[in-house]
Amino acid sequence: MGTRGTLGSWPRRGLRLAGGLLTGAGTAVVELVCVAVAGLALLCVRTWPGGWPAARRCVLGAVTAGARRLTEAERRRLARFLGHDIAADYDDRGARQYVAARWSLGLLGGLVLLAVVAGTAYGSLLLWGWFIMRDGEWITITSSAIGGLFLLFLALQGIVGVALLEGQLARHFLGPSHREALRRRIDELSTSRAGVVDAVHDERRRIERDLHDGVQQRIVALGMLLGRARRSQDPDKARALLVQAHEESRAALTDLREVAWRVYPTALDEAGLRAALEAVAERSAIPVRLEYGLTAEPGEAVRTVAYFVVAEAVTNAIKHSGAERITVALTGRETEVGSLGGLLVRVTDDGRGGADPAGGGLLGLARRVAALDGRLRVVSPPGGPTTVSAELPELPELPCA
């Protein structure tokens, strides 16, 4: 993504983070009250003579239910405003501990927002303070404005810091343990490895089918035409057969180039991802609009997968969608703090929709993307439009020429 686009997105990102912290400050007050009431209730049943076990189970069940509801609300807030996706498979103890600890961080976020308001108010004295200045007060106004701007700067940094702490706190209490995270990672790698092996086998079968049904049949027809031309006693007929053989040889060469291009385009290494995608757009039977928003060339593995995502999605749209126009967009996917986090590929067509993510072509793409720890998403409601998007989490490596 270009520098202008990154700078232009900062105000929106800042407002989203501020909205998340403001909402979190409100929920922190609720959580503080709930923690105080729950602690008082548990203290009472613990010191109550005789009825502790049953009363404890009853109160603890109510506290746990309330903690889970508050935790679910916090998960939605973190995902919507702060960009933290927290898994929902946490246990009851983790939910209680998270609610007990989060209220203090929520109140800190509220204090940071108050500091932003105060810094803005004092910093704005440079604009309007001179109109109310009395004799000798210019030093006070100037120093107050400079102090306010400095406070505003620190508070804006504090917004980003608290947003990051929110995610770390949630992952600490709600995320899986280190052992469980390793187990899940091993399962993911095993699944993606098996998917890559299946994708390679599918690709080999597709190449064999293309060669057998396309190039081989044309070469057989070419040989038959040449044989008929050699056996013909009529010069005109032989000449006509040679013309047909020449046309068939050109068609066979075209098919062979198509197969080679689908295996791996040389333009991807020689001219880069943009040139390879422009070639896909030029060869398409449907108008393709390419929106290339990258300022750096991705690494070899990423650009290869990105190319095949676009090529397969465009091919599927041409064959099955009945679309009149296709849009291909590539952008740098940003993290919640504005750093470049990978590559986002999106292919959209205005066809009839109804694409099956489990189909052979899209399933092969999903396996390719998963091999890079990426995610492939297909949205294709009946009636369209169809959007195929792939997130490839790897940083660009080389500067563009």
Q: Label residue 26 by pLDDT band (50, 70, 90).
A: very high
Question: Which of 98-107, 204-213, 262-271 has the largest mean confidence?
Answer: 98-107
Q: Label residue 197 by pLDDT band (50, 70, 90).
A: low
The lowest-confidence range among 36-45, 105-114, 255-264, 283-292 is 255-264
Q: Label residue 335 by pLDDT band (50, 70, 90).
A: very low
Question: Is the model's pLDDT at 399 over the cut of 50?
Answer: no
pLDDT at 74: 93
Q: Label residue 142 by pLDDT band (50, 70, 90).
A: confident
pLDDT at 262: 62
Helix (H) or strand (E) holding 236: helix 235-263
Mean pLDDT on 160-164: 93
Which tens digit of pLDDT belongs to each residue from 80-121?
998 888 888 888 888 999 999 999 999 999 999 999 999 999
Phi, psi of 16 (to 5 degrees): -65, -45
- Sheet containing strand 326-334, edge to edge, reads 288-292, 326-334, 340-349, 386-392, 375-379
Nearest to 320 by CA among 361, 280, 282: 361
CA distance 262 to 126: 63
CA distance 366 to 351: 21
Q: Label residue 166 by pLDDT band (50, 70, 90).
A: very high
Question: Is the model's pLDDT at 234 over the cut of 70?
Answer: yes
CA-based Rg of the chain, rounded to a whole angstrom? Answer: 31
pLDDT at 162: 94
pLDDT at 100: 92
The lowest-confidence range among 143-147, 237-241, 263-267, 321-325 is 263-267
CA distance 131 to 216: 87
- Higher pLDDT: 78 or 254? It is 78
